[in-house]
Structure formats: structure tokens, C-alpha cells
């Protein structure tokens, strides 16, 4: 199961933006069972992502990639008693004004892969700061190799139905697709006194391979809308959205 909980939130006049995203992970851990929080701490790839968005209203989004994570993370937040919380590190009181939950089954993604239509053009938006890490260094450009590798690893780790990571498939994806346009800017994501160099914005990609390959890429990206892409997705980084079908312009 894949789930998405969007919560409209407001504060008593305090500014709330992406800089608080890592603190929101602390809020999340405070509202789940201690045993499960300890289990998550021991896991490498986390079965959830969460982030803050700022627009006309503040929105806290929590997404899960497994049935267990849905039960342990989202259901406690859906409880009628969860109407407010404190960001302790900043002494900010937050009120939850509205909750919206959406769920889909992973088998629906697979059915779309086997029988759906794959677009050879995709527009992707990085809603929050994204970054990758290779050989101990941060990669602050959205290189297709790192995008695919991240999503394949996450899918393989969080699914018991399909092993996604395969070196040969990765090379085929990289060789047969690329970024054809972009609107990006560099930024930094604050995390426990460290500023992680990263990027945010939009890219358009083209897949030159077969229809099967195009559907495979679409499957990865749709999963990425829940898992996030790159590093620190449980702390607010790497939120991904498929905007629309791209055009070759």
C-alpha cells in the first residue's frame, strides 16, 4: 500500500517553512510507538517520506510505502485527537486545520506498468531541496543515473513483489533517457547545524527506449512520489511530483 496524508497547518504567528522539515520528523516520532520508532532508526532506507510545503497555506505531507508504515505512522496522525502539536526545538505551537488521506495499492502501479500507456516525455518537479551522495560527496544536479539508482534501490528495499535494482537495467535507462530542459536553482537544506548543498525546481526528461522502458520509468517516478528521491527524504528532502506529460520542445 502507498499512502499520502496531507495536513493543512497553521501557527500562532510563527514562520513555518522548509527549515523546520527535519524537526517534523521529530514530531512524527513522538506520536508513534517507541518500538516502531526504534525499528525505523535501525533501517537504512525508510518506508516513508515527509516534508513541509509553503504556499497560501502551510501543508505538512506524510507519505508511506508499506502497509506496516501506514498502520504505524499515518493512522496515529489520522486519530481525531491529533489536532495540534509542538515543535519543541523552536517552541512553535501548530494547529492541524484539515486532513486529507489518499491511498493506492502497489499492484495498481504494476497493472499500469503491464497494461498502461508509457509516456516518453515526463515533467518532474522537485518540491523540496534534493541531493544525492556519491563517493562521500554531494551531487547537487539531477543526474539521471542518480535519480534512477535512488528510486530502484528504494523500490527494491520497500517491496516484496519485485526486485527493481539491476545494474544492466540501470545502464539501459541511463543510455536511453536524458534531461531535455530544466528550471532549477541551487539551495541548501539545514540539518542539525549542517547545510546540505542541494537543488530544487523542475526538469523535463525524454525516454528514447521501448514502450516497456517508458512504462518502467513511469513506474519508478510514480513510486518516487511516495518514497521521495535522493538522500534524507524522511527529514524533508527530495519530495518528487510528476507534473504532466512532457512535450518535445
- pTM, two decimals, is 0.93
Instruction: Please state whether beta strands 121-130 and 240-245 pair in parallel, antiparallel, or not at all (unpaired).
Output: antiparallel
* pLDDT average, residue stretch 141-167: 88
pLDDT of residue 63: 98
Of the pLDDT bands very low, low, confident and very high (cuts 50, 70, 90), residue 246 is very low
d(CA 168, CA 162): 16
* pLDDT average, residue stretch 132-161: 93
Cell of 237: 528532502
Cell of 56: 497560501
* pLDDT average, residue stretch 56-79: 95
Q: Quick check: 235 pLDDT over 60?
A: yes
Q: How much is the mean pLDDT over the chain? A: 92
pLDDT tens digits for range 156-205:
999 876 667 788 999 999 999 999 999 999 999 998 889 999 999 999 99
DSSP label of 247 = -
The radius of gyration of the chain's CA atoms, rounded to the nearest angstrom, is 18
Contacts of 242 (CB under 8 A, 6+ apart): 122, 123, 124, 125, 218, 221, 222, 225
Q: Quick check: 249 pLDDT over 70?
A: no
Neighbours of 61 (CB within 10 A): 19
Q: Quick check: 5 pLDDT over 50?
A: yes
d(CA 144, CA 126): 14
User: Are 31 and 7 within 8 A, CB to CB?
Assistant: no
Residues of the chain above pLDDT 70, percent: 96
User: Are 70 and 103 within 8 A, CB to CB?
Assistant: yes
* pLDDT average, residue stretch 36-63: 93
pLDDT of residue 244: 63
* pLDDT average, residue stretch 94-111: 93
Pure H helices in the chain: 21-30, 34-42, 67-69, 75-78, 106-115, 144-158, 167-175, 211-227
Amino acid at each position: 500500500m502507498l499512502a499520502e496524508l496531507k495536513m493543512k497547518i497553521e501557527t500562532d504567528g510563527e514562520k513555518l517553512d522548509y527549515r523546520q522539515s527535519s524537526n517534523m520528523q521529530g514530531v512524527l516520532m513522538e506520536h508513534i510507538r517507541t518500538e516502531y520508532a526504534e525499528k525505523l532508526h535501525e533501517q537504512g532506507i525508510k518506508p516513508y517520506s515527509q516534508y513541509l510545503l509553503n504556499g497560501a497555506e502551510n501543508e505538512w505531507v506524510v507519505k508511506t510505502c508499506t502497509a506496516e508504515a501506514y498502520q504505524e505512522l499515518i493512522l496515529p496522525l489520522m486519530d481525531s485527537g491529533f489536532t495540534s502539536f509542538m515543535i519543541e526545538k523552536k517552541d512553535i505551537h501548530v494547529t492541524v486545520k484539515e486532513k486529507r488521506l489518499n491511498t493506492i495499492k502497489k499492484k495498481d502501479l504494476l497493472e499500469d506498468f503491464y497494461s498502461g500507456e508509457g509516456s516518453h516525455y515526463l515533467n518532474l518537479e522537485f518540491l523540496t531541496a534534493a541531493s544525492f551522495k556519491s563517493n562521500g560527496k554531494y551531487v547537487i544536479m539531477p543526474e539521471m543515473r542518480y535519480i534512477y539508482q535512488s528510486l530502484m534501490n528504494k523500490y527494491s528495499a520497500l517491496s516484496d513483489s519485485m526486485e527493481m535494482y539491476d545494474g544492466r537495467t540501470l545502464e539501459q535507462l541511463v543510455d536511453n533517457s536524458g534531461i531535455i530542459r530544466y528550471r532549477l536553482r541551487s539551495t541548501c537544506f539545514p540539518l542539525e547545524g549542517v547545510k546540505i548543498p542541494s537543488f530544487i525546481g523542475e526538469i523535463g526528461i525524454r525516454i528514447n527506449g521501448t514502450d516497456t522502458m517508458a512504462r518502467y520509468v513511469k513506474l519508478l517516478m510514480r513510486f518516487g512520489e511516495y518514497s521521495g528521491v535522493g538522500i534524507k527524504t524522511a527529514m524533508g528532502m527530495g519530495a518528487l511530483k510528476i507534473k504532466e506529460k512532457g512535450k518535445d520542445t
